[in-house]
Amino acid sequence: MAVSVVFSTTRQLWRPTLLVPRSVQAITDGNRRNIASQQSIPPPAKYGGRHTVTMIPGDGIGPELMLHVRELFRHAYVPVDFEEVLVSSEASESDIQNALMAIRRNRVALKGNIETNHNLPPSHKSRNNILRTNLDLFANVIHCKSLRGVATRHHDIDILIVRENTEGEYSSLEHESVSGVVESLKIITKTKSLRIAEYAFRLAHEAGRKKVTAVHKANIMKLGDGLFLQCCKEVASGYPNITFESMIVDNTTMQLVSRPQQFDVMVMPNLYGNIVNNVCAGLVGGPGLVPGANYGRDYAVFETATRNTGKSIAGKNIANPTAMLLASCMMLDHLRLHSYASVIRKAVLTAMDDAETHTPDIGGQGTTSAAVQSIMKQIIKPRSHLAQ
């Protein structure tokens, strides 16, 4: 069934105030709970109602997926212009600075993953991590939800994962104290732990969620993870209507693969979030299906949830475009272009019902371009709205 493009000013939204100036918005589509965004106040439209967004294609399948985003946006007459900035694993410091400058100028970015070259010296930092820390994109949020039409072992999964994005094991502080002995510093601060816990509970409250699970390893890392857990408990006391539980990270992974439906909202430090994000993406069908977002006070960057470059399938026209297209919908919601986001999201999910367009990662034989064409066929553009 095709989805008509109708640009209405009537929307079902929620807009709480988060910490410093920040808004959260979600759209409920039937019985389906969708997190549209939780972010800084979006930049106003420019140049006749159009928005400018920084686009970083990244490595692997990123560049080809970005071409399909552009194609779909043109087809749906989305009022967004992209400023493309090329950053790869081999990028120079000036390239990184150009990317940071572009995001600070536009305040919103759509990004492919940038490969981290493990053969380079320790002084060469992950380009992805540099962007997140320099822009203080402290909250990584993904929504793992079972999709109709995708065969998986578990059903009825609907989990929001909130990952602290700027410290923990990803602080990039390592040194060799003596020959053959390497020390890696894990940084946990009270300020950032309280901030991410407040973010998760406010998100749960405004989205109508019933439970928040803090994931930790405080039984072993009593100071670091102990501090994180204590901050979560402190914030939880201010939300008596939300059930709070804590769970050790190794038990969490077992519970996820055995009974994922028990989870609602999950909050955790950086490394655990990386692991849990990938596990949950696998539970609902794989990395090609789940979008992600990184929010800070001033900027928002959207990408696929698992941050996989897909290097092995680059250029073969078999990458699943779903995750990147849904990430672009989250970006549109952030820009308050809700009608466009809703139309594209519905078209993507409707196209998923057609097994002939499924790409190999979810058991099909379809191509990327065929999947995108199927999505575009779901969008009917009434002549009266073309000018919009």
Which pLDDT value is given to residue 386?
A: 42
- The CA dihedral of 265, 269, 270, 271, to the nearest 10 degrees, is -100
Taking each helix axis from N to C terminus, what angle separates 270-283 and 249-258, rounded to the nearest 10 degrees?
Answer: 10
| Position 4 confidence tier, pLDDT thresholds 50, 70, 90 | very low
Which pLDDT value is given to residue 88?
A: 74
The answer to whether residue 158 scores a pLDDT higher than 50 is: yes
Which pLDDT value is given to residue 210?
A: 97
Question: pLDDT for 289-303, tens place per residue?
Answer: 999 999 999 999 999
Question: pLDDT for 232-280, tens place per residue?
Answer: 999 999 999 999 999 999 999 999 999 999 999 999 999 999 999 999 9
pTM as predicted? 0.86
Residue 131 and residue 6 in contact, taking contact as beta carbons nearer than 8 Å:
no
Which pLDDT value is given to residue 44?
A: 73
Q: Which residue has the tokens 């804590």?
A: 246
Which pLDDT value is given to residue 23?
A: 34
First to last CA, the chain: 23
Kindly give the pairing relationship between strand 22-29 and strand 32-40. Answer: antiparallel
Which pLDDT value is given to residue 172?
A: 82
Token representation of residue 379: 């969008």
Percent of the chain with pLDDT over 90: 72
> Mean pLDDT throughout 302-308?
90
- Of the candidates 307, 330, 333, the residue with the CA atom closest to the CA atom of residue 163: 307
Which pLDDT value is given to residue 310?
A: 85
Any idea which of 20-24, 227-231, 256-260, 349-353 has the lowest mean pLDDT?
20-24
Which pLDDT value is given to residue 7?
A: 37
- Of the candidates 99, 138, 147, 91, the residue with the CA atom closest to the CA atom of residue 285: 147
> Mean pLDDT throughout 337-358?
93
The secondary structure element, H or E, covering residue 132 is helix 127-134
| Alpha-carbon torsion (186, 187, 189, 195), positive or negative | negative
Which pLDDT value is given to residue 185?
A: 94
Q: For the chain, what's the residue count?
A: 388
Which pLDDT value is given to residue 122?
A: 67
| Position 48 confidence tier, pLDDT thresholds 50, 70, 90 | confident
Which pLDDT value is given to residue 308?
A: 81
| Position 19 confidence tier, pLDDT thresholds 50, 70, 90 | very low
The architecture (CATH level 2) of 44-116+126-138+292-379 comes to 3-Layer(aba) Sandwich (3.40)
Which is higher by pLDDT, 89 or 137?
137
The answer to whether residue 324 scores a pLDDT higher than 90 is: yes
Residue-range domain boundaries for the chain: 44-116+126-138+292-379, 153-175+184-284
Cα angle 136, 140, 141 (rounded to 5 degrees) comes to 145
The secondary structure element, H or E, covering residue 97 is helix 93-106
CB-based burial label for 248 (10 Å; 0-12, 13-18, 19+): middle
Which pLDDT value is given to residue 91?
A: 64
Which is higher by pLDDT, 388 or 344?
344
Q: Do domains 44-116+126-138+292-379 and 153-175+184-284 have the same CATH topology?
A: yes
Fold of 153-175+184-284: Isopropylmalate Dehydrogenase (3.40.718)
Q: How far apart are CA 65 and CA 371, in angstroms?
A: 12
| Position 287 confidence tier, pLDDT thresholds 50, 70, 90 | very high
